Amino acid sequence: MFMIQQKNKLPPAEKIKQPGIEVDQRKDERFDSHAPLVVTLFSTKFRREYDSMSFNHSKGGMCLEVAEPFNPGSVLYIRLSNAPEDQVYQGNRDHLRTTTLAEVKWIREYQDNFSTYYRIGVKYY
């Protein structure tokens, strides 16, 4: 019997990654939130605090907005700010930690008419 060898056979269409399509890797439900945060790089010689705002959060991590970029792999100490309650839209605070250590997983730069800011995705330790 004669067998044809197929070296360049393509995988089925459902297994081909489409360019530009991101796969959502979230394991937990996300909750919208806009809580004021204070962010500090963990274990650094010079401590500097950065004001921030949560964008959304889950049981395993959060997305926050901050004016300073942090590199993926950086460890952050994040805590809720003591901003007056009447000045803050709180949103849903289910699973929002009051203090936590988290690792930066990704960063995206955004610009509006007034400034540049960054959205950072972190995973809780």
- Please give the average per-residue pLDDT across 58-80, as a whole number: 92
0.85 surpassed by pTM: no
Q: What share of the chain is helix, strand, coil (3-state, %, to 5)?
A: 5, 40, 55
Which CATH number applies to 30-124? 2.40.10.220
Per residue in 91-109, pLDDT (tens digit) is: 566 667 788 999 999 999 9
Res 89: pLDDT = 46
Q: How much of the chain, in percent, has pLDDT values that exceed 90? A: 38
- Please give the average per-residue pLDDT across 23-35, as a whole number: 74
- The residue ranges of every structural domain in the chain are 30-124
Res 94: pLDDT = 64
Mapped onto helix, strand or coil, the DSSP state of residue 85 is helix
